[in-house]
Amino acid sequence: MLSWNRFAYSIKKAWGKQGLKVNRGVKHLALAVLSLIAFQCRGAPDEARGPAKSYTETVTTKSGEKVSFKMVLVPGGTFLMGSPEGEPGRKDDEGPQHKVRIDQFYLCTTETTIELFLAYYHETVSAKKDFTETEQAKKEAELVANDVDAATGPTPVYGDMTMGYGKTHPAIGMTWHNAMNFCEWLSKKTGRKYRLPTEAEWEYACRAGATNVFGFGNDPNQLAEFAWYKTNSDGETHEVGKKKTNAWGLYDMLGNVSEWVYDFYSPQAYKDAANTNPRGPTTGKVHVARGGDYTSPIEDMRCAARTFEEEGWRSGDPQIPKSKWWLPGMDFIGFRAAMSIDPNAVKPNDGQK
């Protein structure tokens, strides 16, 4: 692409070669304007200079309303994943600590909101209440076979999906499968590669370059400045983005709701983990959730703390078999979206500002 500086130079050169009779004052004014534009464009991000530090995504709902959210660049780097043996509240599945290399990626500054999740739900939900898991599987298989570019959707939720919370509260009560499906819908809606963050990416982003217990430090007395948890939540979730961000501009990485990540859960996962962009075990029965929630005690609010889907999470679902889409009544589980960066499309800046 021709830069503005080179463009201005080309015009000046053309004037000289062609002997164009242009008023000298007009010519100088035109060159001054072009120089000003070139100067201003120096600050604009482009693929040659690396990805933008942040961007705002806007989705148009089925009813024509617009919902926006912000994504921030998480710089690539290396960190120690897990917790040291002496850390208060540590559990065995948080070790051994191991060095992990993470490539740059984007992460949503907040947990996915009810407003955004409702846009997905209303656009993709099945029309029939008695739509069975078998029929849904057939539909998905047909779409794959026919190469149909459309995201399948969840069956209607049992009860109130919002559980009485407002639209700027975190979306809640979805299964891991439903969260993954949301990311697929969002990708097709926007043309970007949205997904759940891996467990390693999540912890790396939560720590934001720090090596301490909570990311902001080791003092639990500061926790209320950054998170909604058992001590200060009044027994409910809160609007996203109302506490302080961490060092990389991310809200509510600790508390409010636990967040689904990509990985299957295994208590032994760290013993055999890859050291570059690990994606967790290749198989498993349940998936990992991170960050603690509004009911969590201090020890579950640590950056290294892990949890996973327990059998009781589906206890509110009266259906047999249980839905693969919903965890009725489970208002402590949500997620946030990540977005991949094509390493061939941009020059990695590896965290440089």
pLDDT of residue 126: 73
Among residues 275, 262, 272, 223, the alpha carbon closest in space to that of 246 is found at 223
Q: Are residues 146 and 20 in the same domain?
A: no
Whole-model pTM: value is 0.80
Q: Are residues 31 and 102 in the same domain?
A: no
**Each residue's pLDDT tens digit in the chain (353 positions)?**
444 444 444 444 444 444 444 455 544 555 444 444 443 433 333 444 689 999 999 999 999 999 999 999 999 999 999 999 999 999 999 999 999 999 999 999 999 999 999 999 999 997 554 444 555 555 555 554 544 345 678 999 988 999 999 999 999 999 999 999 999 999 999 999 999 999 999 999 999 999 999 999 999 999 999 999 999 999 999 999 999 999 999 999 999 999 999 999 999 999 989 999 999 999 999 999 999 999 999 999 999 999 999 989 999 988 888 999 999 999 999 999 999 998 765 443 333 33
pLDDT of residue 158: 84
Q: Are residues 160 and 281 in the same domain?
A: yes
Question: Token pair of 23, please?
Answer: 């008023």
Q: Is residue 260 part of a domain?
A: yes
Q: Are residues 101 and 34 in the same domain?
A: no
Q: Are residues 102 and 17 in the same domain?
A: no
CA distance 229 to 214: 13
CA distance 108 to 337: 6
Q: Are residues 97 and 241 in the same domain?
A: yes
Q: Is residue 346 part of a domain?
A: no
Q: Is residue 48 part of a domain?
A: no
Q: Is residue 46 part of a domain?
A: no
Q: Is residue 276 part of a domain?
A: yes
Domains identified in the chain, total number: 2
What are 108's strand-pairing partners? 71
Determine the distance from the C-alpha atom of residue 279 to the mean position of all C-alpha atoms in its chain, rounded to a whole number. 15
How are strands ordered across the β-sheet holding 333-334? 306-308, 287-290, 258-264, 333-334
Q: Is residue 181 part of a domain?
A: yes
Q: Is residue 154 part of a domain?
A: yes
Q: Are residues 127 and 27 in the same domain?
A: no
Q: Are residues 212 and 298 in the same domain?
A: yes
**What does DSSP say about strands 338-339 and 105-108: parallel, antiparallel, or unpaired?**
antiparallel
The residue segments making up the domain with residue 22 are 4-41
Q: Are residues 15 and 75 in the same domain?
A: no
Q: Are residues 101 and 209 in the same domain?
A: yes
Among residues 267, 228, 120, 98, the alpha carbon closest in space to that of 183 is found at 120
